[in-house]
Amino acid sequence: MRAVLHAVSFFLLCVGAYYIALVFQAPTEELSLKKHSENSHDSQETLTHESASMGEQLSESFQDATVAPDVDVPELPIELPIELPIELPIELPIEVPIEVPIEVPIEVPIEVPIEVPQSPEEETLQPNPLARGWGEDIDWVGTYGEALGMAQSRQKPLMVIHHLEECPLCKDLKASFSDNEEIQRMAKEDFIMFNLMHETSDPNLSPDGFYVPRIIFVDPALVIRTDIAGKDQQHKYSYTYMDTQLLVENMKKARKAHKSEL
């Protein structure tokens, strides 16, 4: 192989020298053109002859390099390029900051209730805790002792109503009592009114026993009016929702002066 390469290189050098000779030996005068042509022809023949002999030498060298079986051509080891592992840069994940929305507290206007001043009429409409459904417009007294004192000082008869909240007869009597205008008017103007849901320590308020509903009248001299009673012979001082007219008549009797007061 090296001989072939040297032969090819030599051939190329010869061809190059030929063309360089042509450039530098070009005719400079018109009169020597023929001579130059002849010389060129001779030179070309000479160069052709030299090229032919050189080609024969190269051919023989090539045949010697390829045909001769006895020549051991050393096999050069072929060095393959070692592929080095390419270390790729590791792309680390970029932590993008997450924008958390900030909750701004919304200020809700607080509605303050407007206090409207109450008129005297509206104040009287508020429920009376002492009435217990027997009449809101009546001036009820809180205790039995207070009721006796007011009856004596104002010289008005006292009306004492015994009842219970869960008693059906008491509820019916209460409804008819509060709906009767005449009873409500006399109770407000002519009597000291007291209702209670328990018994007192005065035995004079239970002349025939303990039961409800029961209405007892007491005169201004603090005497129990046992003569003013209802229709029931067993429970003399009991009334029902159908006895409102009888109750009106008994209230009128209680307004009159008792014989003991005359």
CA proximity to 194, closest of 135, 123, 250: 135
Q: Is residue 49 part of a domain?
A: yes
The gap from C-alpha 109 to its chain's centroid, in whole angstroms, comes to 19
Residues in the chain: 262
At 17 the pLDDT is 80
Burial class (CB in 10 A: 0-12, 13-18, 19+), 123: exposed
Question: How much is the pLDDT for 29?
Answer: 46
Residue 73 in domain: no
CA distance 11 to 102: 88
CATH number at residue 234: 3.40.30.10
For residues 193 and 119, which has the higher predicted lDDT (pLDDT)?
Answer: 193
CA distances from 191 to 63, 114, 157, 162, 186 (A): 162, 41, 5, 16, 7
Q: Which residue has the higher pLDDT, 28 or 107?
A: 107
Identify which has the larger pLDDT, 115 or 41: 115
CA nearest to 250, candidates 161, 171, 175: 161
For residue 115, the model assigns a pLDDT of 62
- Note down the domain range covering 140: 127-256
Does residue 37 lie within any of the structural domains? yes
Q: Which residue's entry shows tokens 């360089």?
A: 20
Q: What is the 3-state composition of the chain as percent helix, strand, coil, each rounded to the nearest 5?
A: 45, 5, 50
Q: What tens digit of pLDDT does each residue of 149-173 get?
A: 999 999 999 999 999 999 999 999 9
Judge whether residue 33 has pLDDT over 80: no
Residue 155: DSSP 8-state: T
* Type of residue numbered 189: E
- Look up residue 3 and give its two tokens: 């001989």
Q: What is the pLDDT of residues 210-220, one digit of tens each?
A: 999 999 999 99
Q: Decide: helix, strand or coil at residue 193.
A: strand
40-59 pLDDT tens trace: 555 555 545 655 566 566 55
> Do residue 137 and residue 215 come from a single domain?
yes
Mean pLDDT across 74-97: 62
The pLDDT, as a whole number, for residue 62 is: 45
Q: Which of 19, 50, 67 is the last residue of a domain?
A: 67
pTM over 0.85: no
H or E segment at 161? strand 158-162
Residue 101 lies in a domain: no
Please check whether residues 252 and 136 belong to one and the same domain: yes
Given 48, 67, 86, the domain boundary residue is 67
Q: Are residues 131 and 249 in the same domain?
A: yes
Highest mean pLDDT among 45-59, 99-113, 119-133, 146-160: 146-160
**Does 82 reside within a domain?**
no
Q: How many domains does the chain have?
A: 2
Q: What b/e string do you get for 73-87 counting C-beta neighbours within 10 Å, with b at 16 or more?
A: eeeeeeeeeeeeeee
pLDDT of residue 137: 94
204 and 134 share one domain: yes
pLDDT at site 259: 55
Report the chain's terminal Cα–Cα distance, integer Å: 172
Q: Are residues 55 and 144 in the same domain?
A: no
pLDDT tens digit sequence for 230-257: 999 999 999 999 999 999 999 999 998 7
State the pLDDT at residue 111. 66
**Which one has a higher pLDDT value, 34 or 88?**
88
Residue 197: is its pLDDT beyond 70?
yes
Chosen domain end from 25, 52, 67:
67
Question: Quick one: pLDDT at residue 125?
Answer: 61
Structural domain contains residue 25 = yes
Query: Does 152 reside within a domain?
Result: yes
Q: Residue 200, CB half-sphere, CA atoms under 13 Å: how many?
A: 20
Mean pLDDT of 111-124: 57
Contacts of residue 239, defined as CB under 8 A and 6 or more positions apart, other chains included, come to 173, 213, 215, 230, 246, 247
Residue 219 lies in a domain: yes
How far is the CA of 196 from the CAs of 89, 131, 159, 164, 186, in angstroms?
Answer: 98, 10, 11, 8, 19
